[in-house]
């Protein structure tokens, strides 16, 4: 199993690193002139001063600005009187520093309060960056503070663990895409998938935080082009590509019958073969197989892979009919002959299970409606209407900077002998539902020579592959 690497740990301040939530609660009670109750928590805990001041103003009629100033003074007086680090907090910060894991302070408190607390913790040097309520337009529960910290650190939120003590802070971190370790201070927090709850930070280690991160699922779609037989030493070159790209699951088309089994055996992987054309190979165990095992040359086949205990995903490979390729049309509607491909896609979509995350890959022999405004390309649109997202376009929305062409790296001109240019299009896809896209790329090894001089190419295909890296959550976990 491959987990995402721990890129940084992002700490809330009040109630997480230092025992200030009680001090804040007492300051609000003093300004409000009454004891607070559980019903007040949503407007007090994890909220910036301005929010709580506006809430008090609505209840008392006093000016919000004056209430905010009084809250600042009351809370700062209590902080200066003495704050106590929460159990295990300093030990965890020291351990992360020893292992070179970057840390950030992400708080809804103003800069003046954060600086006071940082001084009590031994100085701002404990953190590579600190983000306060003064530094973003929106503070918690909006994701802005955590996203800002990740930008400054140059890390991806999916590789970060956020440590929080309130539901408001948890909402902010999760909205930013972080894994959350919650250590509730005053109000309870529920453990759900992707969020772990512990009573304190005592005994929490960097290794334990790494164990909370999602698992990686790296999926490739690859049309092997007659099994790769047009190129010398094609099987060895296919294995080299799979090793160099470090993929986890490959949806194959044009397997020439035996490619899935032979590749899997050489890699020590699992495999599924469907008919003479389709296959899936996986480094993870295959726990179920879907679709007609005797499917014809065109169609769909799927598997369920167990990425880790308690988390599975379905991966489908699809190959649609190539005839009457729409971009070749010189007049009229280029989608006039899409009915066959659309029917094949709808058949595949009808087989997809909604109960687990799904990845549907393949050679659609049709462009995407997201790429070409010349027509309402129905095949990819049908997939979108079924709730599947285009991972490459999700990662690369700029069509000019990232066209993502997969057809064809070896065909600058059409194969029909006309000498006409080959329309370079994106016709191979990695679609998904229920996963988070971390990255997506098209892939071709070496510098392929054009057809027909392809025998010695390093790249044993006439299509570019598409590779998408997803994160797959691991649920709650003991640390």
Of the residues 12, 19, 144, 248, which is catalytic? Answer: 12
What six digits make up the tokens of 136?
């973003």
Mark residue 88 as left, alpha or beta (left: phi above 0; alpha: psi -120 to 50; beta: remaining): left
Q: Tell me if residue 134 is catalytic.
A: no
Backbone angles phi, psi at 392, to 5 degrees: -65, -45
Residues 142 and 281: their CA atoms lie apart, in Å, by 41
Alpha carbons 199 and 186: distance in angstroms, whole number: 11
Q: Could you give the angle at the alpha carbon of 469 between the alpha carbons of 145 and 326, nearest 5°? A: 115
- DSSP H/E element including 341: helix 339-351
Q: Cα separation of 75 and 361, whole Å?
A: 56
Packing angle of the helix pair 111-120, 64-80 (nearest 10 deg): 10
Candidates 14, 19, 371, 390; catalytic one: 14
Cα distance between the two ends of the chain: 18
Q: Which of 9, 313, 377, 326 has the alpha carbon at shortest distance from 160?
A: 9
How many alpha carbons fall within 13 Å on the CB side of residue 332? 6
List, in sequence order, every residue forming a beta bridge with 111; answer none if it has no partner.
none
Taking the C-alpha atoms of residue 76 and residue 423, their distance in angstroms, rounded to an integer, is: 66
Q: What are phi and psi of 120, to 5 degrees?
A: -70, -25
Rg of the chain in Å (alpha carbons): 27
- Tell me if residue 12 is catalytic: yes
Note whether 352 and 318 are within 8 A (CB). no
Query: What is d(CA 236, CA 458) in angstroms, rounded to the nearest whole number?
Result: 10
By annotation, the residues acting in catalysis are 12, 14
């Amino acid at each position: 199993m491959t987990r995402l690497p721990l890129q940084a740990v992002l700490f809330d301040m009040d109630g997480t690193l230092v025992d200030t939530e009680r001090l804040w609660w007492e300051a609000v009670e003093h300004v409000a002139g009454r004891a607070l109750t559980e019903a007040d928590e949503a407007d007090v805990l994890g909220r910036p001063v301005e929010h709580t001041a506006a809430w008090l103003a609505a209840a008392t009629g006093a000016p919000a600005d004056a209430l905010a100033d009084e809250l600042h003074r009351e809370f700062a007086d209590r902080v200066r009187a003495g704050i106590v680090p929460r159990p295990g907090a300093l030990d965890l910060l020291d351990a992360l520093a020893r292992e070179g894991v970057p840390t950030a302070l992400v708080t809804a408190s103003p800069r003046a309060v954060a600086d006071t607390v940082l001084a009590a913790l031994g100085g701002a040097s404990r953190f590579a960056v600190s983000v306060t309520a003064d530094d973003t337009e929106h503070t918690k529960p909006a994701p802005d503070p955590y996203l800002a910290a990740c930008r400054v650190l140059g890390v991806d939120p999916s590789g970060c663990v956020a440590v929080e003590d309130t539901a408001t802070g948890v909402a902010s971190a999760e909205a930013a895409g972080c894994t959350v370790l919650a250590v509730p201070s005053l109000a309870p927090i529920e453990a759900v998938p992707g969020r772990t709850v512990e009573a304190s930070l005592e005994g929490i280690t960097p290794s334990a935080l790494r164990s909370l991160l999602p698992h990686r699922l790296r999926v490739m779609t690859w049309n092997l082009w007659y099994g790769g037989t047009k190129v010398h030493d094609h099987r060895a070159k296919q294995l080299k590509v799979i090793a160099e790209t470090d993929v986890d699951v490959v949806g194959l088309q044009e397997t020439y019958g035996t490619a899935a089994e032979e590749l899997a055996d050489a890699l020590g992987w699992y495999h599924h073969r469907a008919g003479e054309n389709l296959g899936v190979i996986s480094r993870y165990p295959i726990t179920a197989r879907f679709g007609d095992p005797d499917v014809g040359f065109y169609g769909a086949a799927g598997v369920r892979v167990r990425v880790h205990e308690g988390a599975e995903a379905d991966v489908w490979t699809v190959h649609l009919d190539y005839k009457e390729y729409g971009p070749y049309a010189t007049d009229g509607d280029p989608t006039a002959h899409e009915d066959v491909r659309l029917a094949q896609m709808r058949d595949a979509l009808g087989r997809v299970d909604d109960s687990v995350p799904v990845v549907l890959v393949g050679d659609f022999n049709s462009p995407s409606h997201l790429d070409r405004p010349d027509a309402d390309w129905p095949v990819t649109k049908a997939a979108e209407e079924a709730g599947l997202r285009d991972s490459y376009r999700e990662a690369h929305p700029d069509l000019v900077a990232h066209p993502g062409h997969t057809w064809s790296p070896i065909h600058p001109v059409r194969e029909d002998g006309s000498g006409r240019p080959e329309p370079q299009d994106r016709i191979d896809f990695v679609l998904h539902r229920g996963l988070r896209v971390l990255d997506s790329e098209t892939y071709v090894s070496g510098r392929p020579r054009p057809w027909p001089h392809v025998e010695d190419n390093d790249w044993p295909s006439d299509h570019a592959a598409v590779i998408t890296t997803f994160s797959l959550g691991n649920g709650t976990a003991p640390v």
